[in-house]
Amino acid sequence: MLPKGMSLKDKVAVVGGLGQSWQKEIASYLAEAGASVAVFGKDKDEMTAAVQAVEKLGKQALAVTTDPTSPGEVSKMVQSVLKKWQKIDILVNSFNLFLAKPLPEISAVEWTKALEANITPVFLSTQAVGRHMLERKEGKVINITSGLAERGLPNGSAYCAAKGAVVQFTRAVALEWARSNVRVNAIALGWMEDSAEVSKEEWHQNLVRYAPLKRLAGPEDFAAALVYLASDASSFVTGSTFYITGGLMAHG
């Protein structure tokens, strides 16, 4: 049995994705805990896989093809989810586009794109879904970010700035909505297997050696934290960032 209050039975979750978002896995974990799940984004293969995974778990699913950086499309996406289920209890923002480049070589176009991809959809969907949650006086928002929100990395100026922005956005909105029973939290991931960050074998090995737990992470490593924050079991938690980094945040 899941701990008291952690079931997501009868809940409706919306999972936004862009880039390497683990959208399919996130949708599955929420469905496994009992939620119906809508996914939105531009990656049709990922969304189809998410829908199939949710339906396989016996839950209802919906995919809404959406450019998550477009205010109009995000707002339409919210309408279609509400049309199907009349409510949204949980929003997960998982927008993740990596960029590693020496600062002198980053073009203004790359900078804008990296920031827009990692932050703008968090703003747009939290705003659009948040309006509905504020009306209902109930909701949970979970923003997926990275330990690089809180640590520096050579060649990571744009990515670190963007991921840090997600944490600060989380804190500010958490305070803004604290008395409206809409809780806003973040999960910061560590170095993930099969990600752009570790796409070279030598980088991968270097990081595994360095990591306190001697392995990189998979999406299953943050599944429990996700369901906890999405559920009523975390009723006194808001503005918090759960770092699930395998010990990296303790490193000097």
Partner 1 sequence: MLEKKFNLEGRVAVVTGGGGGLGTAICLALAEAGADIVVTDYRVDAGEATAASVRQTTGRKAVFFPADITKPEEVNDMMSRAINQWGKVDILVNCAGIVRGEIPKPFWEITDFDWHRGIDTNLSGAFYCSRAVVKHMIDRHYGKIINVASGFGMRGLKGNFMYNTAKAGVILLTMSMALTLAEYNIRVNAIAPGLFETIGPKERYETSARFIPMGRVGQPPEIGALVVYLASDASDYATGEVFSIDGGALFSGYAPINYIPIVPLKEK
Span near partner 1 by CB under 8 A; candidates 62-70, 94-102, 114-122, 244-252:
244-252
Span near partner 1 by CB under 8 A; candidates 27-35, 109-117, 123-131, 156-164:
27-35
Closer to partner 1 by Cβ: residue 78 or 217: 217
What x-and-dash track marks residues 38-67 binding partner 1 by CB under 8 A?
------------------------------
Please select the residue that binds partner 1; options are 49, 98, 221, 230, rule is CB under 8 A: 221
Please select the residue that binds partner 1; options are 88, 128, 223, 230, rule is CB under 8 A: 223
In this structure, what DSSP letter does residue 103 have?
G
> Phi and psi at residue 54, in whole multiples of 5°?
-65, -45
Q: How many helices (H) and strands (E) does the chain have?
A: 7, 7
Q: Which residues contact 67 (CB under 8 A, 6 or more apart)?
A: 42, 73
Please select the residue that binds partner 1; options are 190, 195, 197, 230, rule is CB under 8 A: 190
Look at residues 3, 250, 17 and name the one whose alpha carbon lies nearest to residue 122.
Answer: 17
| 159 in catalytic set | yes
Span near partner 1 by CB under 8 A; candidates 13-21, 59-67, 93-101, 234-242:
234-242
At residue 90, the 3 state secondary structure works out as strand
Number of residues near partner 1 (by CB under 8 A): 46
Please select the residue that binds partner 1; options are 12, 64, 227, 230, rule is CB under 8 A: 227
Q: Which residues contact 94 (CB under 8 A, 6 or more apart)?
A: 15, 16, 17, 18, 21, 22, 23, 26, 144
b/e burial code for range 57-88 (CB count within 10 A of at least 16 → b): bebebbbbebbbbeeebbbebbeebbeebeeb
* Ramachandran region, residue 122 (left: φ > 0; alpha: ψ -120 to 50; beta: rest): alpha
250 scored as a contact of partner 1 (CB under 8 A): yes
The site for partner 1 (CB under 8 A) is made up of 1-6, 29, 32-33, 171, 174-176, 178-179, 190, 212-214, 217, 220-225, 227-228, 231, 233-240, 242-247, 249-251
Residues marked active site are found at: 159
